[in-house]
């Protein structure tokens, strides 16, 4: 089972490989705001746990297990960003809030949020109702 820290690394590595075609220790360290030595230790752990294959001085490749998990984590992050945007969270707070909650929700909760977003997509009037309720509550405060 991946820890929240492992998930952060896998998500970052997956995104780098998707965007650039590769993931270097320095890019991972910069993106996660950690020291390169910490990245190297985590890469070794992810290699040991079969999420990636790491060859010193040659780089790394995600295994099918790592690709699947990385893709799932990126999709979870995007889903939560969409959810917070949909319910009206201020844009300045969204990234920080997603980072704060993404590791604390079960996959069951993620699926329920996904279902709720799909409901709002299919029933746009319900979105209007939600925003009206929000306005009413703000007016009462």
Burial label for 86, CB within 10 Å (0-12, 13-18, 19+), is middle
| Token pair listed for 83 | 């959810």
Q: How many CB atoms lie within 10 A of CB 118?
A: 10
102 is known to lie in a ligand binding site:
yes
Give the list of residues 6+ apart from residue 43 with CB closer than 8 angstroms, or none.
9, 25, 28, 52, 54, 60
103 is known to lie in a ligand binding site:
yes
Distance CA 133, CA 119 (A): 17
11 is known to lie in a ligand binding site:
yes
Distance CA 141, CA 138 (A): 5
> Which residues are annotated binding-site positions for Mn(2+)?
8, 11, 77, 99, 102-103
> Which residues are annotated binding-site positions?
8, 11, 77, 99, 102-103
């Amino acid at each position: 089972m991946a820890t929240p820290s492992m998930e952060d690394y896998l998500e970052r590595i997956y995104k780098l490989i998707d965007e650039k075609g590769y993931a270097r220790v320095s890019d991972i360290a910069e993106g996660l705001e950690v020291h390169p030595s910490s990245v190297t230790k985590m890469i070794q752990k992810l290699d040991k746990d079969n999420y990636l294959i790491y060859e010193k001085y040659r780089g790394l490749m995600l295994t099918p297990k790592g690709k699947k998990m990385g893709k799932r984590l990126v999709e979870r992050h995007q889903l939560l960003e969409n959810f917070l945007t949909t319910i009206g969270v201020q844009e300045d707070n969204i990234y920080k809030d997603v980072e704060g909650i993404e590791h604390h929700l079960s996959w069951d909760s993620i699926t329920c949020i996904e279902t709720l977003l799909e409901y709002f997509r299919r029933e746009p009037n319900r979105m209007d109702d939600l925003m009206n309720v929000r306005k009413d509550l703000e007016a009462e405060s």
